[in-house]
Amino acid sequence: MISLTLNGEDIQLEDNTNIEQLLQNLSLKNKRLAVEINQQIVSRSDFNTHVLQDQDKVEIVQAIGGGSID
């Protein structure tokens, strides 16, 4: 198992989990979102090859309504 931070929460994953598998586990596969690992954006085309590492900091973001301070 590996331990990492996902959107500020500590989680554990099986070894050799890639981003696509993580998104599938979260029921977020094929959603419009962007993923950042350790402050580096990962292209969608690399989701199925980028393997998550122990202590990674993962951020998953999406577009929401906005335009000023909420």
Partner 1 sequence: MSNTSSDQKLVIAGTAYTSRLLVGTGKYKDNDETRLALEASGAEIITIAIRRTNIGQNPDEPNLLDALPLDKYTLLPNTAGCYTVEDAVRTCKLARELLGGHKLVKLEVLGDEKTLFPDAIETLKAAQILVDDGFDVMV
Among 31, 38, 48, 57, binds partner 1 (CB under 8 A): 31
Nearer to partner 1, 44 or 48 (CB): 44
State the Cα–Cα distance between residues 29 and 7, nearest whole angstrom. 16
Q: 38-57: which residues touch partner 1 (CB under 8 A)? A: 39, 41, 43-44
Query: Residue 16 has what DSSP assignment?
Result: T
Interaction site with partner 1 (CB under 8 A):
6-9, 26-28, 31-34, 36, 39, 41, 43-44, 59-70
